[in-house]
Amino acid sequence: MTPHSINRDVRGTHTVAALCAYLVLGASVPNTTAQESALVRLTTAQYEHSVHDIFGKSIKIDGGIVDPGMRENGLLALGSRKLTLSAAALERYESLARQVATQVTDRRHRATLIPCKPQTETAPDPECASQFIDRAGLFLFRRPATNAEVQSYVSMAGSATETLGDFYDGLGAALVGMLVAPDFLFRVERTEPDPSQPDTQRLDAYSRASRLSFFLWNTTPDAELLAAAESGALDSDAGLQQQIDRLLSSRRSADGLRAFFSDMLGFDGFATLSVDASLYPKFTKNVADDAREQTLRTLVQHLLDKNADYRDLFVTRDTFLTPALAAVYGVPLPRSQELGGAVPWVPYRFPEGDPHVGLLTHVSFLSLHSHPGTTSPTLRGKAVRENILCQRVPPPPGDVDFSLVQDASDPAFRTVRQRLTEHRENPTCAACHRMTDPIGLTLEVFDTSGVYRTTENGAPIDTSGTFRRQPYADVVELVPILRNDPAVTSCLVNRAFSYGTARMPSTRELSWLFDTGAELMDTEVTWRDLMRRIARNEDFYTNVFD
């Protein structure tokens, strides 16, 4: 019998059943002194990072994990608090758990990942199993496993070992159980009375560690952070500050930054991005992948390596390119790429006068917010309003006639600006389109794939517009206006807080977040400063819902 079958036969069904019960009925894990207050599902990246950090990067995780989740108020992180776990997702988690457990206990890994050897490999060894489960439980559950939990998993390992006749297969079965436990798949945030305000609740130390770690590193807490939680250091200002500084000074903070902006900029859309290759043959799968990475690399370099102002991302000409991306941007890029080698990323600065300036002119933004076969000023403008400025653009009413907008063959309306102008004559549509279209129409000089153009259907593209009553001629003039808009900073501040806490800020919290944004704007809106300010605020470690 294989480990796979033992997982199914011995404990597979009751694990899934337990998980379902936990999620649906709110059944409790073994007693702790803290109260459970919330569950936040791990993202795909967080799952992978956690497994790799706990068991090493040689553990392969094949294929996607689960659906990306649900976007709420502009962030997947906010949707992750919703308990949406389908039966298919549960099966996928269990399959992944078997995959991971098989590798952890195989001959290649057991010597380093299992801290002891059984007295015999063909019989249960509760003492050795207990050592492994106790240690793995600390990192998987992001808190010490309770005695009852350890005994439960040791018992599970023993039963499986007797059935299979192999200690490591039995231990693997127990590990599968831990990997599909709610305490691993979800960040179980427990609260405790706040000693300074006994009538209010705050996250317990281990939950604080988790929130901090996933916020700044996008992964499970490391040993030092868990130790700080155990010692109570995280409950003190000094201890908390020390850990925040440590995490922010680590190169791993790039993972946290990438995860946040992937969420804020809606990069999950790349998984389903469709660009019509017959119309845009340069837009290959590699270009799509590179486009996403280009923006993330630019963010990391700007915000971490240069410690530069967030707002300048909208006007910077510095970025990174690959040979394929350079072909899309229409710029020369000397390259040295060995066959079969990694894609060469080359630091690049668009020359003055080039229309590519800032994040909004990245292929990632332009392609993500287009239709597969045509651009969409509305989608692009909506993305700026919602993703960058945190404004809300209502969905169109159900009875809108889009035929005029979509008909590009009418010689009277050769450009989308002309078609949308007509469309805005409909008063029902006008209010929203006045918000979205000016910005989007300026970006019309970039087609769906991001390739620069000056005409549409033979007619010159008019890139002029007005933003916040400030007129501009083209995208190069638009982006500085956008850069200086206070909403750019306040949106970042609010999104960062919401992302880290997986909840919307309360009315009271909005007040200090507003002040934070204002203070940053007076100096510089730097990433580490913002992260530090949020992570040091006690509100960050609460679950207050308006």
Residues at the interface with other proteins (CB under 8 A): 277-278, 280-285, 318, 323-324, 326-328, 330-337, 339, 346-349, 351, 451
Question: What is the closest distance, in whole angstroms, from the C-beta atom of residue 424 to other proteins in the complex?
Answer: 31
Question: What is the closest distance, in whole angstroms, from the C-beta atom of residue 36 to other proteins in the complex?
Answer: 49
Handedness of CA 6, 12, 15, 17 (dihedral sign): negative
DSSP 3-state assignment of 40? strand
285 or 508: CB nearest other proteins: 285
DSSP 3-state assignment of 472? strand
Question: What is the closest distance, in whole angstroms, from the C-beta atom of residue 255 to other proteins in the complex?
Answer: 24
Length of the chain: 546
165 or 347: CB nearest other proteins: 347
444 or 485: CB nearest other proteins: 444
**Residue 70 parent element (H or E):** none
Question: What is the closest distance, in whole angstroms, from the C-beta atom of residue 284 to other proteins in the complex?
Answer: 5
84 or 374: CB nearest other proteins: 374
Residues 365, 448 contacting (CB under 8 angstroms) = no
87 or 339: CB nearest other proteins: 339
Question: What is the closest distance, in whole angstroms, from the C-beta atom of residue 315 to other proteins in the complex?
Answer: 16
Residues 41, 63 contacting (CB under 8 angstroms) = no
Amino acid code (one letter) for 82: K
Question: What is the closest distance, in whole angstroms, from the C-beta atom of residue 526 to other proteins in the complex?
Answer: 21
114 or 288: CB nearest other proteins: 288
28 or 455: CB nearest other proteins: 455
DSSP 3-state assignment of 186? strand
Residues 65, 93 contacting (CB under 8 angstroms) = yes
DSSP string, 273-335: ----TTT-TT--HHHHHHHHHHHHHHHHIIIIIS---GGGGGT--EEEE-HHHHHHHT-----
117 or 349: CB nearest other proteins: 349
DSSP string, 489-534: HHHHHHHHHHHHHTSPPPHHHHHHHHHHHHHHHHS---HHHHHHHH
End-to-end CA distance of the chain: 53
DSSP 3-state assignment of 514? helix
Question: What is the closest distance, in whole angstroms, from the C-beta atom of residue 353 to other proteins in the complex?
Answer: 10
Question: What is the closest distance, in whole angstroms, from the C-beta atom of residue 459 to other proteins in the complex?
Answer: 17
Cα–Cα distances (Å) from 382 to 67, 87, 212, 434, 523, in that order, read 24, 34, 31, 11, 29
317 or 424: CB nearest other proteins: 317
Residues 521, 486 contacting (CB under 8 angstroms) = yes
345 or 512: CB nearest other proteins: 345
As given in the structure block, the two tokens for residue 87 are 């039966």
For the chain, what percentages of helix, strand and coil (3-state, to nearest 5) are there? 55, 10, 35
- Distance CA(456)–CA(460), nearest Å, equals 6
Question: What is the closest distance, in whole angstroms, from the C-beta atom of residue 320 to other proteins in the complex?
Answer: 9
Question: What is the closest distance, in whole angstroms, from the C-beta atom of residue 322 to other proteins in the complex?
Answer: 10
Burial class (CB in 10 A: 0-12, 13-18, 19+), 319: buried
- Distance CA(358)–CA(480), nearest Å, equals 9
Phi then psi for residue 204, to 5 deg, are -75, 175
DSSP 3-state assignment of 449? coil
DSSP 3-state assignment of 41? strand
Residues 377, 371 contacting (CB under 8 angstroms) = no
DSSP 3-state assignment of 165? coil
337 or 511: CB nearest other proteins: 337
353 or 398: CB nearest other proteins: 353
Question: What is the closest distance, in whole angstroms, from the C-beta atom of residue 332 to other proteins in the complex?
Answer: 4
455 or 466: CB nearest other proteins: 455
Question: What is the closest distance, in whole angstroms, from the C-beta atom of residue 347 to other proteins in the complex?
Answer: 4
Residues 440, 421 contacting (CB under 8 angstroms) = no
- Distance CA(474)–CA(445), nearest Å, equals 9
- Distance CA(522)–CA(185), nearest Å, equals 41
Question: What is the closest distance, in whole angstroms, from the C-beta atom of residue 419 to other proteins in the complex?
Answer: 23
